[in-house]
Structure 1
Amino acid sequence: MSVITEGRSAVVTGAAGGIGLAIAQACLGRGMRVTIADQDAGRLDRAAEDLRARAPGRVAHFACDVRDPAAVEALRDAAVDAHGPVDLLVNNAGVGRPTKPWAEREAWELTLGVNLWGVINGLMAFVPGMIEARREAAVVNLGSKQGITNPPGNAAYNVSKAGVKALTEQLAWEFRQIEGARLSAHLLVPGFTFTGMTAPGAEKPSGAWWPEQVAERMVEGVGAGDFYIVCQDNEVDWETDRKRIAWAAGDLTEGRPALSRWHPDHAEAFKRFLGG
């Protein structure tokens, strides 16, 4: 039985728009009570107003910078006060800034602060209470294919999402060690998705998924008990994703240069691998 069901309680960060808002809508559509959080208080107020019109009495909202542990603890308290024990935590808040490994310190600090420390702060604030409640509960952390295949050009974002992957794998293992616990951890890995972060003010590219498609894939994956909930899009199918991931791992096991997929000496070999 999935925790995403009528009468249960969810908290979603980064939910003033994009994937977070779509996840909140999907949870409300299944009868859950939802607390949404975002750093952008104005957008959050508007999102909450819209959600309340659809689901009166089942929506709370709380302005929160996930980089601040005290703010995330206050979010937890507000969510519990509004809707009782938290059954689903979705650590979705994220940012992306182009960075080089040796420059843009402020962008590095912002990206790691939101994307990685925001998740850590969420776990530290919410998970002890979820364990203590002894209820069936789930944690979904937002990963990225960039945290797995590590394409060049956005070092801070890739590092942050690689960290979230490792963190969520550790969380799943720790949950399995708790006798009698009914807790699950999930890594949601979107594909090319049209959101305000990826393309503010632009028209949706034909290859991109809508955020609502990612949200539905999350609901499906949590219900099925999947740890890795990998989304495709309208351009890339699972077989292509699988081969890209396998090639990236092969850089280490086969002794190739780092990021050989983008190395001129290995471009033809990768093309053959992808087509084989």
Structure 2
Amino acid sequence: MNVDIIARGRVAVVTGAASGIGAAAARRFAREGMRLVLFDRDEERLRVLAGALDTEIVVVPGDVSREVDLEALRDAAYERFGEVALLMNNAAIIERAGPCEKLGAWRHALDVNFFGVLAAQHLFVPRMMEAETRSAIVNLGSKEGITTPPGKAAYSVSKAAVKVLTEQLSHELLKATGGRVTAHLLVPGYTWTPMNFPGLKAMQDVKPEEPWTAEQVIDLFVERFRRGDFYIICPDNSVTSEMDARRIRWAADDMVQNRPALSRWHPDWGPRFAAWMSGPPEKD
């Protein structure tokens, strides 16, 4: 049970904190009494958020693709607070580059979505392991990094890499700390954020029915994190947890059953996938 990490007086570091899920996390952590270190490229928006929160906050502008900026983030956190209880690697971008196009976009996606997470872990995790208190790393994954639908190959590859990295980190931390430091993979569903809805202007726009709000994602995250879950996969208003489970199982069975790659979208297998999704509830 992780009940002593998201707790009054502890310190949370959040990347990509100026909007969306990162901002929702900052607001929730502040309500929990945590002290915050907030990081984002959008310094103006970051400072507006910080000014609205009733807790002790350090604002660090920067880009997760620049290791020197992440070093400044780490140094600011430890110089001000002396500890980090929770590192949330939330910052990400969407790149729609295909398998054989836009090499620069591929590099950008991997630099932000994967290497930014990896660099932050390298900078923060050793200090977290040295401390005697319990702490955790939360990396933001994506369902597109699990079932890998066609259309955004660069994004899917980067998020698949985050999934594997976080699984490996979790295992290593268990061996090294016996569960004192843990890692977790937060996988949002369809969410009402600027990344999914470019041009979104917060409450000035009317949310469609299908997506969850960022606050719903964070509320579920906190509940499941405190329960100790590693995989925290969020539903939304159009995709249930049962639907997610069936899609993930189907994707894994492509290898087990030697089906064509991405058979869910293959013309010969699409009808069978549809039948699978509409089948009777599965038993545990």
- For normalisation by structure 2, the TM-score amounts to 0.93
Larger displacement relative to structure 2 (59-68 or 15-24): 59-68
Residues 90 and 139 in structure 2, CA contact (< 8 A), matched pair in contact too: yes
Structure 1 position 263, deviation (Å): 0.8
Structure 2 counterpart of 1:235, one-letter code: S
Query: Greater CA deviation, 69-78 or 228-237?
Result: 69-78
C-alpha distance in 1 between matches for 2:108 and 2:7: 34
Tell me the distance in 2 between the aligned counterparts of 1:179 and 1:75. Answer: 24
Partner of 2:250: 247
Q: CA RMSD in A?
A: 1.1
Given the superposition, is the C-alpha separation of residues 179 and 120 from structure 1 closer, same or farther in structure 2, using an over 3 Å criterion?
closer
- Number of matched pairs: 272
Match of 1:25 in 2: 27
| Correspondences of 1:256-275 after superposition (within 5 Å) | 256-275=259-278
Once the two structures are overlaid, the 10-residue window that deviates more, 136-145 or 39-48, is 39-48
1:48 corresponds to: 50
Residue from 130, 153, 162 that aligns with 1:132: 130
Query: What is aligned with 1:226?
Result: 229
1:178 partner SS: helix
Deviations 1:120-158 (A, max 9, x none): 011011000000112100100000000000000000000
Query: 1:18 & 1:47 partners in 2: Cα distance?
Result: 11
> What secondary structure, in the 3-state scheme, does the structure 2 residue paired with 1:171 have?
helix
Query: What do the CA deviations read for 1:202-232 (whole angstroms, capped 9, x no partner)?
Result: 5422110000111111111210000000100
Of residues 90, 98, 101, the one that matches 2:99 is 101
Q: Cα offset for 1:179?
A: 4.4
1:141 aligns to what? 139
AA aligned to 1:104 is K
Mapped to 1, the partners of 2:52 and 2:75 lie a distance apart of 23
Q: Which runs of 4+ in 1 moved over 4 A?
A: none
Q: Which ranges of structure 2 fall in alignment gaps of 5 or more residues?
A: 201-205, 280-284
SS of match in other structure, 1:226? coil
Which stretch shifts more, 124-133 or 199-208?
199-208
Question: Within the alignment, does 1:86 sit opposite 2:108 as a pair?
Answer: no
The one-letter amino acid paired with 1:24 is A
Partner SS, residue 194 of structure 2? coil
Alpha carbons 1:96, 1:111 under 8 Å: kept: yes
Question: What is the SS of the residue equivalent to 2:146?
Answer: helix
Cα distance, 1:5 vs. partner? 0.6
Please report how far the alpha carbon of residue 275 of structure 1 lies from its aligned counterpart in structure 2 after TM superposition: 1.0
1:209 matches 2:216: no
When the two structures are superposed, what TM-score results if normalisation uses the length of structure 1? 0.96
Question: Which residue does 1:5 correspond to in 2?
Answer: 7
Give the deviation of 1:59 after TM superposition.
1.3
Q: What CA deviation, in whole Å up to 9, does each residue of 1:212-261 have, x standing for no partner?
A: 11111111121000000010000010110000000001111111100010
Change (3 A) 1:231 1:47: same
Q: Compare 175-184 and 89-98 and name the one that shifted more.
A: 175-184
- Asked if the contact 2:70–2:120 (Cα under 8 Å) also holds between the matched residues in 1, the reply is yes
Using the alignment, how far apart are the partners of 2:251 and 2:169 within structure 1? 24
Partners in 2 of 1:194 and 1:101 — Cα distance? 28
Shift of 1:105: 1.7
Deviation at 1:45, TM superposition (A): 2.1
- Matched residues in 2 for 1:107 and 1:132: separation? 37
